[in-house]
Amino acid sequence: MNELPIIQKTYDLIKWYVPILNRLPQNHKFMLGNRIITGLYDLLDALIIAKYAVDKLEQLQSLNSKLDILRQLK
């Protein structure tokens, strides 16, 4: 099944970024690393939900704020 490009790109980002986060020092991996990984999976979940939502704009506006939070964690 062909996914929307944004969903596929987010999935590819997770596959690329999780191994990098797993190499963080242990004191950072469990706090910062887990928070970023959870945020990325939450973003992917929300994108899939928005794909089927009737009111896509509202869903995408909510995603925008989640994405801004992830940007600050980098």
Q: Would you kindly state where each structural domain of the chain is located, as residue ranges?
A: 5-73
Continuous segment of H or E residues that includes residue 74 = none
- Helices H / strands E in the chain, number of each: 4, 0
Question: What's the average model confidence in pLDDT over 32-61?
Answer: 90
Is the separation of the CB atoms in 67 and 43 below 8 Å?
yes
SS3 label, residue 69: helix
Any idea what the Cα angle at residue 40 is, between residues 39 and 44, rounded to 5°? 115
pTM of the model: 0.81
Which one-letter DSSP state was computed for residue 29?
I
Task: Specify the 3-state DSSP secondary structure of 55.
Answer: coil
* In the predicted structure, residue 45 carries a pLDDT above the cut 70: yes
* Position 6 confidence tier, pLDDT thresholds 50, 70, 90: very high
